[in-house]
Structure 1
Amino acid sequence: MSTISGVNNSMSASTEKVVDVLEVPDKPELGRFESESRKGTTLEAGADALSAKPAFALLPEEIQGSLRKTEGFDAELTWTRREERWVTVNTDLCVLIPVFLVFVFLALDRSNVANALTDNFLKDLHITQNELNNAVLLGNAAIGLFDIPSNILAKRFGPNRYLPLLVLAWGAVTVGQAFITNKAQLYVCRFLVGAFEAGAIPGYAYYLLRFYRDREIASRYAYFWSANIFASAIGGLLSLGILKLRGTHGRAGWSYLFIIYGTITIAVALFALAWLPDSAVSASRGTFARLWYTPRQASILTTRVLLDDPEKSEEIHAAPLSRAEIFVTLTDWRLWTLVLCAAATAVLYSPINTYSLLLIKSLGFRGYTANGLAVPGFVLSIVWSIVMGILINRHGRHAFYVAITNIGAVIGLLWISLVPRNKAAQYIGILWLLTFNISAVGVIGAWTAHVVPARQRAVALALTVSFNNLASLGGSQVLRSSDAPRYKHGLWALSGTCTAGAILAGVAHLALRHRRRGR
């Protein structure tokens, strides 16, 4: 049964036929056959190929009518597996990598304060660690406040146009952050960065869904969200050189950090604005269309994506979200079990991102060296994220991997807080913790997309990410200066939230197990 009654030509006018947000129709597989030799086509004799016709024939007539009107869709199309692989590779290169790059600089701009801490940032601004926590809290509050409204606007105006403008805005604020001199200015800048960053992560996560089939998205989300981890790794390495500029032209090293990151962010925003199309359906109309796909490749992309999920058709997506659809999404209790799981898991992110470098520095390493020593942990986290994404693409089991990641984080937290003060042992514990910090967020994003239909995903993803950031409000206050240098009480509290995240993963699995998207 379709989640939205009237997935047809009149859907844009339908606001009263919305039913359960998580009931999704089973979708037929694309028809498989052994092709014959076809003169004038790309199909090779005996090649294993795919045909759109069998899957299209099983769709309701109203959906067939809608898809036939979609530019690039061809119900009679056949293509080889090799062609499909090339289309997927092109999409990874032309969509996933640019979006990954945007996320890298989002993460750098959000977390650059952590690197600035190793360059006397607190002393230069005459603020305390707790006041810095308040600044981080303000940024996360802004993200939580504006996530859902921003994502609704992204869907209304097109994520390829709206989101790069947000990137441009926070890049400009990041540059301005280089010239702050006191606590009040820091508070204003962090709030503005958070306000403009709001909607970017769920917005680009929703954007990626427009180009991939359901069974392909978990690994792509793993790469996408690993940008956050990658930024932490290269942020430490870049800062080794940038912070050494301290004293150049009378400016602090952290000032150059903000200037360089913000300037590159602005350049990335302008590139994204010119490069990215709205969806798979409009890929052939992008500014650099000829660099993306041939006409045949564009047709393969459009046909395979829309047969996997007809609700991704441009005609249906052109209709703004109705209040009824938003209300149904926000009030579905089963979806909320997943949102709460995401929130409990996310409490860990902010304090570990902010203070992992200080934890390493407290072992006796100099500031520059501490940044470099964190890199192996970030690399391990990226590897774990990608491995989970690949396994989920093949076997599913989102809840299992979320629970395992939370349990891994608990082990790391208890290790750091309870193991005797030995430099090598503590460092290994920090690397272990960094491996499991953040790595579950891509899995949770893929899980959300897996159980929510196309038109509700923009709101559902924004809701999940919003509560991630609201959870960070509490997380940013967990590690207090009075608990330094080992932060035992704070680490124990975080182990409790991670335990709750593992348990809630099981609860969400039970609540959603009958409402999975057809495969």
Structure 2
Amino acid sequence: MSTQLPRDLEVDVLEKTQSPLDNEVEKEKADSSESVLDDVPTLGEPIDDRATNFFWNRAFSRSAKHAQDLDSIATQPSVFDDPKTIDIYRPPPIYENAHRFDPSARWTWREEYKLVRKVDLRIMLWACMMFFALDLDRGNISQANSDNFLTDLNLTTDDFNLGNTLFRLSFLIAELPSQLVSKKVGPDIWIPCQLTLWSVVALSQFWLNGRTSFLATRFLIGFLEGGFIPDVVLYLSYFYTKREMPIRMAYFWVASYLTGIVSAFIGTGLLRLRGVRGLAGWRYLFLIEGCLTLAVGLASFFLMPPGPTQTKAWYRPNGWFTEREEVIMVNRVLRDDPSKSDMHNRQGLTLQMMYEALIDWRMWPIYCLGLIHQIPVGPPQTYLTLSLRNLGFTTTQTNLLSIPSSVIGIITMVAATYFSEIVNSRVLATVSLQFWALPLLIALYTFTTHTSQWVYFVVVSHLLIMIYRSSRKKDRQVTLITGFPYIHPIQVAWASRNSNSVRSRTVSASLYNMFVQAGAIVIANVYRSDDAPLYKRGNRALIAVCCMNMVIYGLTFFFYRALNKRRDRMWNSWTPEQQREYLETTKDKGNQRLDFRFAY
């Protein structure tokens, strides 16, 4: 939520964030200012720019000025500083952290960043570990493919496509129900339950014996994993501000890339067990990795506290945070977004709440982007290991060749996320994937059956320009590494930011991920067996979708800009008294409020 303070109160709070010299200069201005409502600041733009630039100052400057800033007041101005609006936004008694709400609380940058690092280690790190477990179980089918998995089970590539489709479909179906259960019982209970259950199914793939058991396990794993990502996104929003969430989402998806790297090494080792006791190597892969993720699931019951002020338990009597840290944690989040106190973290959604979130047409453009954004790069990624085996690479080579793409993917994903916050543009950062993919898709379309296996790998491997090696008869080798920006974390945080209420955020996170899974179903069926091995028809479709996506991203930009301009005109046409009356009497909720501005 983004609202404007009376100028005298705004200056008073800003005074506390400045140096003593600045305070003396501003004091005269504060004394002579009048109490009026000004233009509403855009969502996501803090009044004190140091809240945005502090990371860069610390990373790239060691001057005494920036060192001194650590001990200046970090508390940001908010609606809680105005006695006329504080009661409008005061957290209700049902809010689980209400006892730590203190509108007069002040803290320094040193305290805040020390606390954020502590939250990163206690909360964010384990969230990444759980995502690692998710990707390990849903992605090891790729390593299994490099060990003649389909041949052993008498499956065709169309059977493999059907298995992926069922996985995505069940994942999609479970998204919203899982989110609703999580909101009712608490993510600290539901997420560990999910992890434990899908791990049991994942390790049971050791006993696969044909098409039916393969399709059944793919469906069950997808159904049990569905909702995990939006559950975790909502959970993390309890601890972080809207400026911090995109970067944390990038770190969250770093775990996915790390899974690709680690699983490649694990797969390389376990698949070499092929023949031991007369069993295929992929059976050991499913069994061992399933046991690893089961251990993560059981540990999660003890390592996920319900919320910032609920870290104490019988096995953790002192909790993770002091009372002072809890005060800072709660008030910094509420000052950034007062809507986060709308509901208790174990308060379920009513049918009316769900319906209101579903018909929120202002979120539909982001859902549309979730559906289409990965389609251009998805099919080559899905078929990477199968394609490499068909090109003559061994099982070990196939698994190890997937590692460079993961390393480059981490770098480009984090860079794109930081870029989106630096330029304050979600569209500019996310459309970059389409511009990256288009020339590589065109190159892929031009390939023939005589194209070198290494040249094919150059483009197909996640649509990355990675490695070109001359024939073995020659000694020279040319290596060029780069990678496409994975922009999914930016869009996840974008959907969360534009929801502007716990109610809407709960449903929108699920809906966004449902559209992503629907896109994955499309991805699983672009390359067909009758179009193999070059998939000319499929690649033509991918090029067309990529061009269409560029247009849709542009339309999304103009859509949200038009909404914000319309609200600016309406709000600025009112007198301060009318603005105040609106804040006190409005029944608008979430992003319907006229004092809210969309990020784009």
Q: TM-score, normalised by structure 2?
A: 0.76
Q: What's the offset of the Cα at 1:516?
A: 3.5
Aligned to 2:487: 440
CA contact (8 A) 1:226 1:439 kept: no
Say yes or no: does 1:48 pair with 2:32.
Answer: no
What are the Cα deviations for residues 443-496 of structure 1, in whole angstroms up to 9, with x where unaligned? 110111121113211110110111111121121111122333332322232232
Q: Name the count of aligned residue pairs.
A: 490
Q: 2:265 aligns with which of 237, 245, 260?
A: 237
> In 2, distance between residues paired with 1:54 and 1:337?
29
Q: 1:430 aligns with which of 452, 460, 485?
A: 460
Aligned to 1:267: 295
Q: 1:57 aligns with which of 81, 89, 105?
A: 81
Which stretch of the first structure deviates more once superposed, 70-79 or 196-205? 70-79
Aligned to 2:3: 26
Aligned to 1:373: 401
What are the Cα deviations for residues 280-300 of structure 1, in whole angstroms up to 9, with x where unaligned? 343466954757323322221
CA contact (8 A) 2:130 2:297 kept: yes
Q: What's the offset of the Cα at 1:66?
A: 3.3
Aligned to 2:532: 484
Structure 1 residues 27 and 158: alpha-carbon distance in aligned structure 2, compared to 1, 3 A threshold: farther
Structure 1 residues 315 and 183: alpha-carbon distance in aligned structure 2, compared to 1, 3 A threshold: closer
Say yes or no: does 1:66 pair with 2:92.
Answer: yes
What are the Cα deviations for residues 342-388 of structure 1, in whole angstroms up to 9, with x where unaligned? 10113356533431122333443212111111211121111111112
- 1:49 is aligned with what amino acid? I
Aligned to 1:18: none
Q: What's the offset of the Cα at 1:75?
A: 2.2
Structure 1 residues 54 and 224: alpha-carbon distance in aligned structure 2, compared to 1, 3 A threshold: closer
Q: What's the offset of the Cα at 1:35?
A: 7.3
> In 2, distance between residues paired with 1:467 and 1:518?
20
Which stretch of the first structure deviates more once superposed, 167-176 or 246-255? 246-255
Q: What's the offset of the Cα at 1:207?
A: 1.3
Aligned to 2:164: 136
Structure 1 residues 493 and 411: alpha-carbon distance in aligned structure 2, compared to 1, 3 A threshold: same
Structure 1 residues 517 and 125: alpha-carbon distance in aligned structure 2, compared to 1, 3 A threshold: same
Counterparts of residues 296-315 of structure 1 (less than 5 Å): 296-313=324-341
Aligned to 1:206: 234
Aligned to 2:52: none
Which stretch of the first structure deviates more once superposed, 407-416 or 241-250? 407-416
**Structure 1 unaligned spans of 5+:** 1-23, 37-43
Say yes or no: does 1:470 pair with 2:518.
Answer: yes
**What SS class does the counterpart of residue 128 from structure 2 fall into?**
helix
Q: TM-score, normalised by structure 1?
A: 0.87
CA contact (8 A) 1:412 1:432 kept: no
Q: What's the offset of the Cα at 1:34?
A: 4.5
- 2:3 is aligned with what amino acid? D
Q: What's the offset of the Cα at 1:139?
A: 0.7
Structure 1 residues 288 and 104: alpha-carbon distance in aligned structure 2, compared to 1, 3 A threshold: same
Say yes or no: does 1:102 pair with 2:130.
Answer: yes
Aligned to 1:494: 542
Structure 1 residues 179 and 509: alpha-carbon distance in aligned structure 2, compared to 1, 3 A threshold: same
Aligned to 1:406: 434
Structure 1 residues 331 and 101: alpha-carbon distance in aligned structure 2, compared to 1, 3 A threshold: same
**What SS class does the counterpart of residue 244 from structure 2 fall into?**
helix
Identity of aligned residues (%): 27
- 2:463 is aligned with what amino acid? L
- 1:61 is aligned with what amino acid? D
Q: What's the offset of the Cα at 1:46?
A: 9.2
Q: What's the offset of the Cα at 1:256?
A: 0.9
Aligned to 1:12: none
Which stretch of the first structure deviates more once superposed, 453-462 or 186-195? 453-462
Computed over aligned residues only, the root mean square deviation of the Cα atoms, in angstroms, reads 2.7
> In 2, distance between residues paired with 1:178 and 1:395?
49
Q: What's the offset of the Cα at 1:163?
A: 1.3
**Structure 2 unaligned spans of 5+:** 21-67, 465-481, 565-595
Q: What's the offset of the Cα at 1:53?
A: 7.6
CA contact (8 A) 1:53 1:76 kept: no
- 2:184 is aligned with what amino acid? R
Which stretch of the first structure deviates more once superposed, 438-447 or 460-469? 438-447
> In 2, distance between residues paired with 1:243 and 1:289?
44
CA contact (8 A) 2:91 2:341 kept: no
Q: What's the offset of the Cα at 1:411?
A: 2.4
- 1:57 is aligned with what amino acid? D
> In 2, distance between residues paired with 1:27 and 1:108?
46
Structure 1 residues 349 and 299: alpha-carbon distance in aligned structure 2, compared to 1, 3 A threshold: farther
CA contact (8 A) 1:116 1:254 kept: yes
Structure 1 residues 27 and 197: alpha-carbon distance in aligned structure 2, compared to 1, 3 A threshold: farther
> In 2, distance between residues paired with 1:453 and 1:285?
31
Larger radius of gyration: 2
Greater RCO (CA < 8 Å, at least 6 residues apart): 1
Say yes or no: does 1:222 pair with 2:250.
Answer: yes
Structure 1 residues 401 and 287: alpha-carbon distance in aligned structure 2, compared to 1, 3 A threshold: farther
**What SS class does the counterpart of residue 310 from structure 2 fall into?**
helix
Structure 1 residues 142 and 245: alpha-carbon distance in aligned structure 2, compared to 1, 3 A threshold: same
Q: What's the offset of the Cα at 1:170?
A: 0.4
Q: What's the offset of the Cα at 1:141?
A: 0.6
CA contact (8 A) 1:174 1:262 kept: yes
